[in-house]
Structure 1
Amino acid sequence: MQRIDFSQPKWDQSTFTGRLKHFFWVTDPRSCVVSSEQLYEAKTLVEKYKNHREPPGTTTEQVWYARKLYESAFHPDSGELQNFCGRMSFQVPGGMLITGFMLQFYRTVPAVVFWQWVNQSFNALVNYTNRNAKSEVSSTQLGVAYVSATTSALVTALGLKTFLEKRAGSLLQRYVPFAAVAAANCVNIPLMRQSELINGIVVYDENGNAVTESRLAAAKGITQVVISRIAMAAPGMTLLPLVMEKLESYSWMQRIKFLHAPFQIVACGAILTFMTPAACALFPQRCSLDVSTLARFEPEQYEKLKKTVGEGSISKVYFNKGL
């Protein structure tokens, strides 16, 4: 039996299709209900298998399942068990509830304030959990990121709500939550990972050897994560307002208002089940940066790289962009 190569993903990560399959696998919401004990057992099996010490009779299917649980719950940089709500496997159940309620309760100021606060609290936790763990973040930086993102979301949501209430119909007002989420993502993620932008992140050669640090790599990775997060939210938060605006024009729909929120939650869940892995798959997890770009924009780090590996020995450096 051919052994599983843990240095390589199950699917080719150079293609979108391969990355999509991988993230469908890793973000599977069913992994949320697995106990911590089972997760640590999966981690132990993975470590034993890597060292050719797995229990006799262990099947390939068992190893693949253990790897799935391990990659869905443990951080790729630190190997630590991630908090439950911050795991990407919780993105669908967590996101569907919050997004559904944001889209349903957008008419009053207290509702807008409460659900935007809940959403940014959730986003801050996800962003921190899935950061590049090689870069430390202080409590002060976390606090500033959280307050700034929440403030930007509320300012955007309340500002647009006030502006549109007197100048636009109900349909445009339904898009206020998405505008707030997009604006907050542009603030939340960079601030939550500001230490990476300030100090740079460790970059590696193709064999995984650390060669230097780069702020440019951090900026590239964070930009891609921001785009992915906005893309993840966009279909549900832009299509559902159109659907609800049409449905609510029917008298039968107006008679079952108590089902509007459950309907939007379920619809958000259906969309996020696909969009979570699709958005994560937009860019490779193992991101790359041309050494020539590093030499042009970060000459000091390039000089450090030359001292480590020699000039012209590698053309690209690699790093984990986070999720």
Structure 2
Amino acid sequence: MSGELPLNINIKEPRWDQGTFMGRAQHFFMVTDPRNVLLSSETLEDARVTVENYRAGIVKPGLTEDSLWKAKYVYDSAFHPDTGEKMVVIGRMSAQVPMNMSITGSMLTFYRTTPAVVFWQWVNQSFNAVVNYTNRSGDAPLTVNQLGTAYVCATTGAVVTALGFKSLAARLPPIMSRFVPFVAVAAANCINIPFMRQRELKYGIPVTDENDNRLGESPRAAKQAILQVIVSRIGMAVPAMAIPPVIMNALEKKAFLRRYPLLNAPIQVGLVGFCLVFATPLCCALFPQKSSMSVSSLEPELQERIREISPQTTTVYFNKGL
């Protein structure tokens, strides 16, 4: 059964060319749109039904191409691309800007005392743990022990780094203390993401040919995927955690903020939010979501298997996660 809309629109792939940075940026501006967080369960379910029905060759009456693409991006914003599970709200990429602006703004505001540093690093790593688990690549489950280990290691690493750099910054110009949160966040990303996705590093992530036929699992593909995600996450943090401290350092010398110190936190959160609205999609777009690597770079046993079942395949593809 089909409607007026043709069935040859490839909604398995993004609407824009993912071979270019601008195409990927347009895609992620849609995926990370904070307004998607406010969508009701009914709207999400309607988008899921629309997308899954279209893939099955069923087009509801009156469906237009623009409506189909809108449903696809609503679907992508809430459901995991590999498992199809509905993701928890704060773990979705559409929640990145509102959640990160609140947490990052607070980290940048309350950086002077040790209890505040410890508390906000803990909050940030708790949030990161949810995001990393929710946006993991592949469909491999994580055990409670693995989740706990990743969470404890990342939180400990962030707190130790933050306190260590805070101690060092005390002997440097005052503005350097404002960059304690960024250094801690960068270090924690290097710990949290690999630990949270340790099963992928051990057992691999699914790799496919260009037609999405699954060829096996590759730990080497997982390493490449995780490295790309770490670079993207640190890149997201740079504008939000580097630009506002410089601006706030200048503003706090002005009479206005001295007169109204309670405005410090809202202004800082607003600056962080403005930076994240652009930094989040642009840094997600640094690498293609459907990443690739040559067959010759895979594990020898997987290379052999691919040569047997798909000898014409020279490049494999995989979801790098977010």
TM range, normalised to the smaller chain?
over 0.9
**Structure 2 residue 207 is matched with structure 1 residue 203:** yes
Matches within 5 A, 1:36-47: 36-47=41-52
Provide the residue aligned with 1:321 in structure 2: 320
1:106 aligned counterpart, secondary structure: coil
Matches within 5 A, 1:80-91: 80-91=85-96
Q: Deviations over 1:10-31 (max 9, x none)?
A: 0000000000000001111000
Provide the residue aligned with 1:51 in structure 2: 56
Provide the residue aligned with 2:303 in structure 1: 302
Task: Provide the rounded CA distance (Å) in 1 between the counterparts of 2:69 and 2:313.
Answer: 33
Task: Provide the rounded CA distance (Å) in 1 between the counterparts of 2:107 and 2:281.
Answer: 22
Alignment-mate amino acid for residue 133 of structure 1: G
Provide the residue aligned with 1:255 in structure 2: 259
2:83 aligned counterpart, secondary structure: coil
1:283 aligned counterpart, secondary structure: coil
User: Does the Cα contact within 8 Å between 2:203 and 2:219 map onto a contact in 1?
Assistant: yes
Task: Provide the rounded CA distance (Å) in 1 between the counterparts of 2:67 and 2:99.
Answer: 28
Return the match for 1:272 from 250, 272, 276.
276
Task: Provide the rounded CA distance (Å) in 2 between the counterparts of 1:123 and 1:280.
Answer: 15
Alignment-mate amino acid for residue 77 of structure 1: D
Task: Provide the rounded CA distance (Å) in 2 between the counterparts of 1:5 and 1:252.
Answer: 54
Provide the residue aligned with 2:154 in structure 1: 149
Return the match for 2:37 from 4, 16, 32.
32
Alignment-mate amino acid for residue 171 of structure 1: I
Task: Provide the rounded CA distance (Å) in 1 between the counterparts of 2:13 and 2:297.
Answer: 27
Provide the residue aligned with 2:248 in structure 1: 244
1:224 aligned counterpart, secondary structure: helix
Task: Provide the rounded CA distance (Å) in 2 between the counterparts of 1:315 and 1:133.
Answer: 21
Report how far residue 268 of structure 1 moved: 0.8
Alignment-mate amino acid for residue 252 of structure 1: F
**Structure 2 residue 94 is matched with structure 1 residue 93:** no
Q: Deviations over 1:128-155 (max 9, x none)?
A: 0000132221111110000000000000
User: Does the Cα contact within 8 Å between 2:11 and 2:69 map onto a contact in 1?
Assistant: no
2:217 aligned counterpart, secondary structure: strand
Supply the RMSD in Å over aligned alpha carbons.
1.2
Task: Provide the rounded CA distance (Å) in 1 between the counterparts of 2:161 and 2:226.
Answer: 22
2:57 aligned counterpart, secondary structure: coil
Task: Provide the rounded CA distance (Å) in 2 between the counterparts of 1:198 and 1:22.
Answer: 31
Q: Which moved more, 1:301-310 or 1:254-263?
A: 301-310
Alignment-mate amino acid for residue 278 of structure 2: F
Identity, in percent, stands at 53
Report how far residue 59 of structure 1 moved: 2.5
**Structure 2 residue 141 is matched with structure 1 residue 136:** yes
Alignment-mate amino acid for residue 164 of structure 2: G
User: Does the Cα contact within 8 Å between 2:138 and 2:206 map onto a contact in 1?
Assistant: no
Task: Provide the rounded CA distance (Å) in 1 between the counterparts of 2:14 and 2:111.
Answer: 42
TM-score, normalised by the number of residues in structure 2: 0.96
Return the match for 2:193 from 179, 182, 189.
189
Task: Provide the rounded CA distance (Å) in 1 between the counterparts of 2:244 and 2:64.
Answer: 44
Report how far residue 2 of structure 1 moved: 4.7
2:318 aligned counterpart, secondary structure: strand
**Structure 2 residue 65 is matched with structure 1 residue 60:** yes
User: Does the Cα contact within 8 Å between 2:306 and 2:313 map onto a contact in 1?
Assistant: no
Task: Provide the rounded CA distance (Å) in 2 between the counterparts of 1:262 and 1:160.
Answer: 25
Task: Provide the rounded CA distance (Å) in 1 between the counterparts of 2:130 and 2:112.
Answer: 27
Query: Where does the alignment leave 5 or more consecutive residues of structure 2 unmatched?
Result: none
Task: Provide the rounded CA distance (Å) in 1 between the counterparts of 2:84 and 2:194.
Answer: 23
TM-score, normalised by the number of residues in structure 1: 0.96
Alignment-mate amino acid for residue 51 of structure 1: A
Alignment-mate amino acid for residue 231 of structure 2: I
Provide the residue aligned with 1:105 in structure 2: 110
Q: Which moved more, 1:5-14 or 1:51-60?
A: 51-60
Report how far residue 73 of structure 1 moved: 0.7
Q: Deviations over 1:175-200 (max 9, x none)?
A: 00000000000000000000111111
Report how far residue 103 of structure 1 moved: 0.2
**Structure 2 residue 172 is matched with structure 1 residue 164:** no
1:54 aligned counterpart, secondary structure: coil
Report how far residue 228 of structure 1 moved: 0.2
Task: Provide the rounded CA distance (Å) in 2 between the counterparts of 1:83 and 1:147.
Answer: 21
1:288 aligned counterpart, secondary structure: strand
